[in-house]
């Protein structure tokens, strides 16, 4: 069996570790995999072009942007922040952990459109996380707001990525099944999805720890930035 095409995985890991442009990383990884599989550069371009044209329907999420913009103009963010501020015991960490669990469960059932950056994170989750942190720590600096928004977006990514792998009709599961079938290994899609459950559980536990650590560090930074009270 030829293992050289797996160099594309290493290229993806290295590119993301160096924080390079994601689109550039994916294209380079595709070329690395294709050339390692003894494909010509034109064949690799043909595969990339076919994948792009076949998946153009993924750009339909752009239709939601005008709706989200209209809702934001009429105070959606402000209402979300005010609502979360009224809930007792609601902290930024608990909110993000609850959303992570919900995102994974719904993605595992194939309901991936119930969340997402344009329709959920930007207008709802991030403002609610900011509101919860603001109730607990007071007015937030702009850099801390940006960190909270980034953590909210990352939480959505983790929940979606590791949740949809459990759904048997997900494209990645079917791709794994077809890949093994081409190499003479017959696997059931349900079997592949089943073994995605331990990974999803580990991802939930690890990201939960990351959220709690982020919340503690946020509290330390904000408490250190507060001016000390003058002596009596």
Q: Encode 197-220: b = buried (16+ Cβ within 10 Å), e = exposed.
A: eeebeebbeebbeebeebbeebee
Q: What is the pLDDT of residues 5-59, one digit of tens each?
A: 888 888 888 988 888 887 788 888 888 888 888 888 888 888 777 766 665 555 5
29 or 69, higher pLDDT: 29
Q: pLDDT-based confidence at 231, cuts 50/70/90?
A: low
| pLDDT computed for residue 117 by the predictor | 82
pTM here?
A: 0.65
| pLDDT computed for residue 70 by the predictor | 65
**129-132 contacts at long range (C-beta below 8 A, 24 or more positions apart):** 129/92, 129/95, 129/96, 130/81, 130/92, 131/80, 131/81, 131/82, 131/83, 131/84, 131/85, 132/84, 132/85, 132/90, 132/91, 132/92, 132/94, 132/95
Q: For residue 212, give the H/E element and its range.
A: helix 197-225
Q: Which two tokens stand for residue 172?
A: 């990645």
Q: What is the pLDDT of residues 80-117, one digit of tens each?
A: 667 666 666 678 999 999 999 999 999 888 888 788 88
Q: Give the mean model confidence (pLDDT) for residues 156-165.
A: 90
| pLDDT computed for residue 232 by the predictor | 56
3-state percent breakdown (helix, strand, coil) of the chain, nearest 5: 80, 0, 20
| pLDDT computed for residue 100 by the predictor | 95
The pLDDT mean for the chain works out to 81
Q: How far apart are CA 16 and CA 161, in angstroms?
A: 16
């Amino acid at each position: 069996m030829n293992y050289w095409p797996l160099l594309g995985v290493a290229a993806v890991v290295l590119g993301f570790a160096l924080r390079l442009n994601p689109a550039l990383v994916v294209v380079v990884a595709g070329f690395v995999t294709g050339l390692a599989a003894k494909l010509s550069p034109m064949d690799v371009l043909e595969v990339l072009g076919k994948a792009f044209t076949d998946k153009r329907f993924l750009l339909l999420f752009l239709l939601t942007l005008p709706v989200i913009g209209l809702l934001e103009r009429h105070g959606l963010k402000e209402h979300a922040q005010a609502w979360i501020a009224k809930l007792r015991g609601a902290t930024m960490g608990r909110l993000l952990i609850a959303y992570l669990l919900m995102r994974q469960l719904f993605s595992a059932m194939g309901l991936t459109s119930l969340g997402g950056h344009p329709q959920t994170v930007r207008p709802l989750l991030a403002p609610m996380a900011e509101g919860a942190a603001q109730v607990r720590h007071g007015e937030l600096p702009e850099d801390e707001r940006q960190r909270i928004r980034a953590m909210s977006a990352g939480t959505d990514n983790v929940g979606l990525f590791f949740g949809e792998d459990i759904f048997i009709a997900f494209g990645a599961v079917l791709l794994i099944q077809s890949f093994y079938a081409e190499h003479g290994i017959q696997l059931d899609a349900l079997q592949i999805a089943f073994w995605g459950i331990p990974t999803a559980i580990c991802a939930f536990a690890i990201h939960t720890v990351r959220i709690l650590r982020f919340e503690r560090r946020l509290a330390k930074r904000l408490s250190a930035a507060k001016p000390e009270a003058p002596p009596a």
